[in-house]
Structure 1
Amino acid sequence: MKLGQVWWQGRLTAALFEGGLARPIPGYTLRELIERSERDGTPLTELAGRYAVRAAEHIDPAIPVEPREVWACGCTYEMSASFRDAEHNTREGFYRHVFTAARPEIFFKGTSRVCVGTNMPIGIRSDSKFTAPEPELAVLLGSKGKVLGYTLANDVSAWDIERENPLYLPQSKVYTACCSLGPWFVTPDELKDPYSLDMRCTIQRGEQTLFDGSTSTSKLGRKIETLVEYLLKANAVPASSVVLTGTGIIVTQEAALAPGDVVTISAPSIGVLVNEAAMVE
């Protein structure tokens, strides 16, 4: 099942998506539907099917959930670790060590305040000259880390700020419109193997394709359940939070984002996430 949200009758509303059409779920956002599911002990998919209107409509997807919290994982792909070591000229393979260590890198990305959905602008910091997209598989969590669905994410990052000093990571990662999610969540009963997804990212500047890269989640160096396990240690992450699982597609400085660039992230089993870049102060 594909679950997300649409703007319907003047309200952000949960929706079930079928064949590119939407069946709104009146009276609920997706977060509220998750809360109802947990309160009643009824599976989310069952509630969605029960309360969705019968008539499907052509409605563009909105942000699929307004996440309570967004957490992100770093150096979960070998390519990412190697690139960062080269970027920072670390003599002892600092980022490689993060990739191979038992404990993963997990950091706070923000709340719904910094998130956008497909066809909404993503941000370029005005104090950055190398902001880049980071295409990732994202996981929607219920209480106690239960996986409720998967979607595409763009962990937009000001890489030059982190390069200046690794302690500047929060400024590199957390700012207005730094996280894009969408187009919807695919529930685990439909997406049974999250480790076999082909992902692609392109950056279009006018008529020019500035960047085109791809990866497979089969190269993800950590299990999702391991990432969630460490995330929840002494950290009661609330339901309707999202975890970004790391990127395996590296955009170099030659393709740094400029206002008007269009970033497209796709995975056939999930869908397409499209955002135009814009400067934010």
Structure 2
Amino acid sequence: MEHTPASLAFLFACFPGVAIMKLVQFYQPGQGTGVGVVQGDTVLDLSENNPDIETVNDLIQIAGTVRMSISELVDRMMNHQDEAVTEYAYDDLDTVPDIAVPHLTLPVFAPEVWGFGVTYKRSAQIRDEDAQNTIYDQVYTSPRPEAFFKATTSRCSGPNAPIGVRSDSTLTATEPELAYVLGEEGEIIGYTLCNDVSAWDLEKENPLYLNQSKIYFGCCSFGPTLVTPDSIEDPYNIDISCQIIRGETTIFEGQTNTSQLARRFEELNEYLYRDNPIPPGTLVSTGTGIMVPNELSLVDGDIVVISCPEIGTLSNPVMQL
């Protein structure tokens, strides 16, 4: 049986209300990872006066133990601060990772990352054109969704960190997606943006090469923030945009809206958890509705920028492996 840390006993005191919020993880030189609460253009250091909270993973574990939502837990912490907390400018943290300066990291250290594919009609159409068969259209309309293991934390990149192009791929593409993080009971505890970087040429050569297409160093980035569900009015009405910048030229721009999703998250979770133990903190990426033309495959030095109003902007440079 897990026990609530003594320093968090105040959580059962009088509670003034639930805050709507977005969270980040950030690196502090000499201190390691901390959790921040984004308020406007400012990030408040939640970890400074809460030594039990070094990561969002800690929040997930404690929230499960005391049976609160992440919002309730963080709101109580913020309202019971006895001392002033350090504030950072968000723009100062949103910088290239450097151990000498504070910077954003992955918003959660996901023990597993899972992906779902062909959840948008546009994705099914484009993939079928390339494959010259109907396997993608079939999975789009089938009861069972396409699910695949995508990454572990060590294979993922946070904001402003490089994403990878496999050394044996000549057609690697960005796949901008809405993603969510799972809690102790399988509930969605937050939303973020994900870039499911994929070596399309390997997958097109043979569907059995899907794992090699999907899983390698730098194959996934996500962030920059983790937005709690109570701050998302409708997760099925979120605008997502993507840009690919090469040198000083924007070579691609695309947009989609999650209203085009053909499957609900409850359905995805039903298949994900079926006979399959999923650890808390797992990231689930829900598929892409933005398809980049084959002739605009990623090359070393490109910058991929994925944005949505609710979550922010995830930017990553491309690195040839």
Per mean C-alpha deviation after superposition, the further-off stretch among 19-28 and 114-123 is 19-28
> Are residues 1:270 and 2:300 paired?
no
Aligned partner of 1:165 in structure 2 is 206
Aligned partner of 2:44 in structure 1 is 23
The one-letter amino acid paired with 1:21 is T
Is the CA contact (8 Å cut-off) linking 2:60 and 2:281 kept in structure 1?
yes
Aligned partner of 1:7 in structure 2 is 27
The one-letter amino acid paired with 2:44 is R
> Are residues 1:228 and 2:269 paired?
yes
CA deviations on 1:220-278 (whole Å, 9 max, x unpaired) are 11011111111111112111001000000001221110111000001112110000000
Distance in 2 of aligned mates of 1:49 and 1:260: 41
**SS at the partner of 2:60?**
helix
**SS at the partner of 1:57?**
strand
Distance in 2 of aligned mates of 1:107 and 1:232: 13
Per mean C-alpha deviation after superposition, the further-off stretch among 31-40 and 69-78 is 31-40
> Are residues 1:77 and 2:120 paired?
yes
> Are residues 1:141 and 2:182 paired?
yes
Question: How many residue pairs are counted as aligned between the two chains?
Answer: 278
Is the CA contact (8 Å cut-off) linking 2:198 and 2:213 kept in structure 1?
yes
The one-letter amino acid paired with 2:25 is Q
The one-letter amino acid paired with 1:203 is I
Per mean C-alpha deviation after superposition, the further-off stretch among 140-149 and 159-168 is 140-149
Distance in 2 of aligned mates of 1:143 and 1:226: 18
Is the CA contact (8 Å cut-off) linking 2:36 and 2:43 kept in structure 1?
yes
- CA displacement at 1:55 relative to structure 2: 4.1
**SS at the partner of 2:320?**
strand
**SS at the partner of 2:185?**
helix
Identity, in percent, stands at 46
The one-letter amino acid paired with 2:150 is K
CA radius of gyration, larger in: 2
- CA displacement at 1:185 relative to structure 2: 0.9
Where in structure 1 are there 5+ consecutive unaligned residues? Answer: none
The one-letter amino acid paired with 2:153 is S
**SS at the partner of 2:88?**
coil
Is the CA contact (8 Å cut-off) linking 2:172 and 2:298 kept in structure 1?
yes
Out of 217, 224, 239, the position equivalent to 2:258 is 217
Is the CA contact (8 Å cut-off) linking 2:64 and 2:185 kept in structure 1?
no
Q: Structure 2 length normalisation: TM-score?
A: 0.84
CA deviations on 1:121-174 (whole Å, 9 max, x unpaired) are 001101000111000000010123200011100000000010110000000000
- CA displacement at 1:81 relative to structure 2: 0.8
1:176-191 aligned at under 5 Å gives the runs: 176-191=217-232
RMSD (Å) for aligned C-alpha atoms: 1.3
> Are residues 1:100 and 2:141 paired?
yes
**SS at the partner of 1:153?**
strand
Aligned partner of 1:57 in structure 2 is 88
Out of 158, 166, 178, the position equivalent to 1:117 is 158
Out of 46, 49, 65, the position equivalent to 1:39 is 65
Q: Structure 1 length normalisation: TM-score?
A: 0.96
Where in structure 2 are there 5+ consecutive unaligned residues? Answer: 1-20, 79-83, 95-103
Is the CA contact (8 Å cut-off) linking 1:14 and 1:33 kept in structure 2?
no
Is the CA contact (8 Å cut-off) linking 2:241 and 2:307 kept in structure 1?
yes
Distance in 2 of aligned mates of 1:63 and 1:228: 22
Is the CA contact (8 Å cut-off) linking 1:6 and 1:24 kept in structure 2?
no
Distance in 1 of aligned mates of 2:113 and 2:142: 23
Distance in 1 of aligned mates of 2:316 and 2:150: 18
Distance in 2 of aligned mates of 1:192 and 1:54: 29
